[in-house]
Amino acid sequence: MTDDVFQRIDEALSRLPNGFPRTDSGVEIRILKKIFSPEEAALASQLTGRLDSVDEIARRTSRPVAEVSKQLFKMVRRGMVWLDKQDGKACFRLAPFVIGLYEAQIELVDHELAHLVEDYFASGGDYCPEDPVTRTGGGLPGEDVQPAVVIGRSTGDLLTLMRENGTIRLYVMGTSPCGHGKV
């Protein structure tokens, strides 16, 4: 049953415009298990890329409005779900994996999650036809910064999660190897 909810959140993320391509290794499910609890994955899998009110989501999940609202706001704080207002009402939608959900997990990024994401991109979990860009060591000129993970996406931006004096920060570094877009 637990694996089912992670398969469903994987499918929901895959339906978003940014996508969340499956890999032969299934590493994406291990990533989702690091980020979502089974309860969070079950609720998030019921969301889409369009904004829905709490009432709509509660109806769709057959759960009480107050319970769904409380969980959604917790998930907003963790970057799993995006919040906006329509007609003065709070509405929610599923955050895409990149750029969105993954970057919001900065507090959760540890050695294991960083390597799982690196494995994901190396296993084809990216839109770029070339190999994903990853590196260790180096940094920005004149700064004591070490890259933790570098990811290139179809938006063309090359993003780096960097560990700087014990703090992980997100930097836009340049253009992806695909040549899509520019920074």
* Mean pLDDT of successive 10-residue stretches along the chain, which has 183 residues: 87 90 93 96 95 96 97 95 93 91 85 90 64 39 42 42 49 43 33
CB of 90 closer than 8 Å to CB of 83: yes
In terms of phi and psi (left: phi > 0; alpha: psi -120 to 50; beta: otherwise), the region of 4 is alpha
CATH 1.10.1060.10 for domain 2-97, yes or no, is no
Query: Quick one: pLDDT at residue 6?
Result: 97
Query: Quick one: pLDDT at residue 18?
Result: 82
- Hey, where are the domains in the chain? 2-97, 126-175
Q: For residue 138, which phi and psi values (nearest 5 degrees)? A: 75, -170
Tokens of 157: 């931006």
Query: Quick one: pLDDT at residue 126?
Result: 60
pTM for this structure?
A: 0.69
CB of 120 closer than 8 Å to CB of 23: yes
Strand 167-175 relative to strand 145-152: parallel, antiparallel, unpaired? unpaired
Per-residue buried b or exposed e for 5-44, using 16+ beta carbons within 10 Å of the residue's own CB: bbbbbbebbeebebbbbbbeeebbbebbbebbeeebbbbb
Q: In what order do the strands lie in the sheet with 145-152?
A: 145-152, 157-164, 167-175
Q: Which residue has the tokens 């929901």?
A: 12
Strand 89-94 relative to strand 52-53: parallel, antiparallel, unpaired? antiparallel
